Structure 1
């Protein structure tokens, strides 16, 4: 995993909302990256439902949210359509984005939490939050808010 304070790598990828590029948000928005291990699993669905429910809060904090998973785009689109997700689900079929961010690509179910990671990238491109597991919306928004407060001081 990458550490807080490190410069986040930029990436471009196909998503349920078209091609996304994190570089276009540098200096403008915080970025929340949610790496989740399995489309349709109860915990992943719960995690992404919480994001959708809190999307107005993320938007008012000027944060962009991207959920990333190795499934193909058709599976992402079906999942997004079924649950009415209005934020991009990014396909990482080759595992390149996971590799950039040090997210374990292992196949062992025992280590599924190694593949459930949340990053918040500040407006300056540095990682301000990096935690494994299904993190609470409040915790993530606090990290987004701390980035906004830091940006206002700069």
Structure 2
């Protein structure tokens, strides 16, 4: 499988996926706004919980700076709903069990896991500008400290 990777300047692949409540959310709904789209392996796991809570804890500042947040994983809406409730998450988590969007964005493929090469979700973060272009593309990000690094990379000062 050849891995497609997105780069700054690329048009962000559009998508429509169900959120934790089963309601469809489209990237096109956010045209005219900056959107942080992040891909994570599994709701409720330690690293994914840390990352989601970091976004939650910085959400007001990110929103005030003009950024909306969307999280995407292969989890089904029911699992996402439990995760949202358990962690009091206040931004949309979207379900991509077929991994179609994950693959379009280059966030699914070969990765190293405990020294072994496996197929899986590549923890990735993108910033989509108001015109729908990728302005930031980060692959293989770390769950811990990632949101702080993103805020720094975006030159946001809170």
Q: TM-score range by the shorter chain?
A: 0.7 to 0.9
More strand by share: 2
Gaps of 5+ in 2: none
Gaps of 5+ in 1: 147-154
Q: Once superposed, what is the RMSD of the aligned Cα atoms?
A: 2.3
1:116 maps to what in 2? 123
Structure 1 residues 124 and 144, CA, compared in 2 at 3 Å: closer, same or farther? Answer: farther
CA distances 1:10-31 after superposition (whole Å, capped 9, x unpaired): 111100252211112112x111
Cα distance between partner residues in 2 of 1:94 and 1:26: 25
TM-score by structure 1 length? 0.83
2:31 maps to what in 1? 26
Cα distance between partner residues in 1 of 2:77 and 2:121: 22
- 1:142 Cα offset (Å): 4.6
8 Å CA contact retained: 2:40, 2:121: no
8 Å CA contact retained: 1:120, 1:140: no
8 Å CA contact retained: 1:36, 1:44: yes
1:149 maps to what in 2? none
More helix by share: 1
- 1:74 Cα offset (Å): 0.4
1:13 to 5, 10, 17: 17
Aligned length: 145
